[in-house]
Structure 1
């Protein structure tokens, strides 16, 4: 179905889609009344578009004794409605149709069972005129019927009389809330035949002033008399123009969409949710809060302890792998600093990429450290929520805390995973280990050689020729040289391990800083950014719906 399009601005379809999107984004963040109201408007607009666009539904609404039923009969050219003066006579809405072919589904949707043909009155083809119950009726069912149909019809004609045109109930309950519907509102001052000419003019001026105060500046204001026919031709002409234009239905829907979007934009938070807008910082403050969060998580995760253990653990394992074989076994009685923290032992050797499931034994965060983390999370939420409307500020702050209960465990897990690589053994350890064992074998060989020579001398047996290195025999060279070489290699390896431990600790510190920052972004900043994106989409949808 081809819809009416303004010369400028989005189509009605686009505005309806934007309103639905805004209502969906406001779910759980804004008051249920505003969200359900927007959805109701969207559903109502969608239903109205699918019904007859060749008919314009005009409702005559007014108070008891305003003469709207008399005006209804005068416009229809026949007595269709019972007329009363001091008490309501219209209990349910009834319709007069000009060329009513195809209007049945529309009236079924409006739930108006009483329908009359008014085809004898020319110039109003396509008009569906409703006579509503009195909005101030003593019967609640009458008032509810008026409220229901006022939200559905295409054009509202408010019929007032000289005695009650300033009635507060009319202005506060109906006219003022419909200030955004001025394009589909007409006000008729009926029964002017009862007033002298000067008094009628003063009533019109006063009524115009009241309408301006209601936000209905410029709405058509007509003076008529259903009894004498004064002003009826002008009213018929106005209705005929609106019916011929075929735009009242879209103007009504456009006004409804704008009103619903305005309500969403100014809606408060759901009942029971904290409200209030935050002031202050913006993007720079967010960046500062992110750094503060990383520092707080760094301390709470015990990273300084882990970094120190990486250096000490590297030196410990280096001594075990490259130390002098005679004494290195003593090192095995000392615990590995990383294994004591349950880091590196939870994954297969050489597979630090495997997921760490168990917690580490890093000392738990103190109450002060946890308080610092909570403060940093709160500061992130406050910085991100600065300048946002109350309900969205509350939603952003809640998003910052939404995964806080899992944050410490996630940091602990990432510390274990990231630090697991610190247990990898450098290749040079193997080379030095082989060299140590070769030197040790030479030392043992020299000791054994000397032992054989000692046995031969003890038994007074002839000794074989003994090779020398200068003045020193080879067995002594092997024994003493092997021992000295093993100790020297162990000392050099220990110096290399000390330097390697510092280097590995620096790498672990850098990797942990990045990994913890990533956890902070995933568990705190990502939900906040998602909420900010939702707010940006919400505002874009609201602006489109308002356009």
Structure 2
């Protein structure tokens, strides 16, 4: 069972003598946890959630009690220092071998808030020494961080990550060890406000060596990123420097700032690491027209446009046909209707629709990815945008097909007044030609039968009226046909233009709502995530 399971954190104001004030980075942490899922690697999401739970649990316990832990290696005098600060022999001291095999908490009063806090820290060994420490201060003697016992090391590391103030105790022998500066201290560079370094056993040094070691230690701390950490020189054997260290810890407890400062530093460390793997997405608006063209291509929108033009031309040709032409084409139309009645030429629509949907999905997703120029990007965090694009394309595909289908369903021929006039003119021209042709045939038939041949009236010396009627009718018929064809081409282009415009308007709405909006939402969410992480990073420096 974890410490958080054993503990029953008080609700705000219940058994807590001082409530931690809210800070801007608290809301930023909630925002980061909410937005990180699906946009950051799973391990980063888990770290942010664990951090949020840790912060909430500690803040619910209030900041009226400050827990300061003495951490260090074997033989540096942590236990002796704890006894000096407590003013009594509370823990067993060792000279060169570890004597602290478990954490020991020292406090002046084991009241309810203190018990709750120690339950949360999972510290069972609690020593109550009335008047030994300032009110609101709990001193913890940790096991050695370099102990040969793994349990000692893990316990020390666990509590060092959870206490409010960390007092790192070193001695003239171990203060420069690489495992200290490259390990424990290196991980605390963001926690300067809550880290105190104590150079103990100074009584074993010559007076000249004390200053030299202090300068050397300060330089090493500066290299570790802890140049602003408070440094105290003490001697647990003689008591030198103990009052100053005690006053420093009392000030931290009285100011009630250490709890929030420690949590802010923890949040900054995690956020800074997560931020390095969170991309800065492009904020340039996605160009809608190319996406609309991609949607038209993917959903066979050009076929709809062509169908509208063909429908208009077919209706116009039908309306401008002369009675003679309609009579000639009647058998063809009858055969076509008969064939459709038998089911010829049908049955491929469903397959075509399914193929169009699949093509739309694939093309739109690829086109959107190309537009945001993700081809050259790397990193797990872009998976969030890829996921959003893929989902948006999948949801937009049926909408695109439906929009194209609605335009196709609205295709109707727009009748024009000149159609009837043209049909009448063409019929008159054909009738004229037929009259002239029939007249000539009649004259030839009379001559063939040997009957008295009548003399046809002459239009000119070289042209009779029957021939004139035939030639004039044919010429006018051909001319009207050419004019009709030209007018139909113009009308077809206009219908194509109107249909294309209507199709683009509908698809623009679909693309904007179902593709661009989700993309913009994802970019905004990632930007908000980065802003929240940046707030956490800067939170440790906030006043």
- TM-score range normalised by the length of the shorter chain: 0.7 to 0.9
Deviates further, 187-196 or 299-308: 299-308
Q: Give 3-state SS (helix, strand or coil) of 2:190's partner.
A: helix
Residues 151-176 of structure 1, C-alpha deviations (whole Å, 9 max, x = no match): 21111100111111122222222212
What is the CA–CA distance in structure 2 between the aligned matches of 1:307 and 1:515, rounded to whole Å?
14
3-state SS in 2 of match to 1:283: coil
Does the alignment pair 1:379 with 2:370? yes
Q: Is the 8 A contact 1:58 1:156 kept in 2?
A: yes
Cα distance between partner residues in 2 of 1:30 and 1:238: 41
Q: Which residue in the other structure is 2:410 paired with?
A: 421
- Deviating more after overlay: 314-323 vs 42-51: 314-323
1:283 corresponding residue in structure 2: 284
1:405 CA displacement: 5.9
Q: Provide the residue aligned with 2:384 in structure 1.
A: 395
* Closer, same or farther: CA 205–170 of 1 in aligned 2, 3 Å: same
Corresponding residue number in structure 1 for 2:124 = 113
- Note if 1:195 corresponds to 2:205: yes
Alpha carbons 1:134, 1:143 under 8 Å: kept: yes
TM-superposed CA distance for 1:80, in Å, is 2.1
Counterpart of 2:458? Answer: none
- Alpha-carbon distance in 1 for matches of 2:59, 2:395: 49
For each residue in 1:352-404, what CA deviation from the matched residue of structure 2 results, as whole angstroms up to 9, or x when unmatched? Answer: xxxxx95657997999x999867633322316x99x99444443344334455
Change (3 A) 1:363 1:201: closer
The counterpart of 1:314, out of the listed 289, 312, 315, is: 312
Per-residue CA distance 1:131-170 (angstroms, 9 max, x = gap): 1111111122111111211121111100111111122222
Q: Distance in 2 between matches of 1:378 and 1:100?
A: 61
Structure 1 residue 162 and structure 2 residue 134: aligned?
no
Q: Distance in 2 between matches of 1:370 and 1:227?
A: 77
Shift in Å, 1:104: 0.9
CA distance in 2, matches of 1:250, 1:416: 60
State the match for 1:528 in structure 2: 519
Q: 1:139 to 1:154 in 2, by over 3 A?
A: same
Secondary structure of the 2:39 match is: coil
Q: Give the stretch that moved more between structures: 505-514 or 319-328.
A: 319-328
CA distance in 1, matches of 2:227, 2:500: 69
Question: How far has the Cα of 1:191 moved from its partner?
Answer: 0.9
Distance 1:306 1:41 in 2: 56
Distance 1:4 1:320, change over 3 A: same
Q: 1:422 offset after TM fit, Å?
A: 1.1
1:100-249 residue pairs with structure 2 within 5 A? Answer: 100-102=110-112, 103-121=114-132, 124-249=134-259
Taking the aligned partners of 1:178 and 1:139, their CA distance within structure 2 comes to 23
**Structure 1 portions without partners, runs of 5+:** 6-10, 269-275, 340-344, 347-356, 444-483
Alignment pair present for 1:94 and 2:95: no
* SS of corresponding position for 2:411: helix
Q: 1:65 to 1:532 in 2, by over 3 A?
A: same
Matches within 5 A, 1:440-451: none
| Residue 67 (structure 1) aligned to one of 50, 65, 77 | 77
- Tell me, yes or no, if the aligned pair for 1:75 and 1:236 is still in contact at 8 Å: yes
Count, aligned residues? 460
Instruction: Give distance in 2, aligned partners of 1:380 and 1:216.
Output: 46
**Structure 2 residue ranges without an equivalent (≥5):** 1-11, 13-17, 341-345, 432-473
Match of 1:474 in 2: none
Instruction: Kindly report which structure 2 residues correspond to 1:209-358, keeping only aligned pairs within 5 A, or say none.
Output: 209-267=219-277, 283=284, 286-287=286-287, 290-320=288-318, 323=321, 326-327=326-327, 329=330, 332=333, 358=350
1:504-519 maps to which residues of 2 (within 5 A)?
A: 504-519=495-510
Shift of 1:305: 3.5
Which among 23, 34, 37 is matched to residue 27 of structure 1?
Answer: 37
Between the aligned partners of 2:355 and 2:131, the Cα distance in structure 1 is: 93
Q: Kindly tell me: are residues 299 and 261 of structure 1, through their superposed partners in 2, closer, same or farther at Cα, counting changes over 3 Å?
A: same
CA RMSD, Structure 1 to Structure 2 (Å): 4.1
**Paired residues of 1:58 and 1:157 also in contact (CA < 8 A):** yes
In structure 1, how many angstroms separate the alpha carbons of the residues matched to 2:406 and 2:181?
A: 69
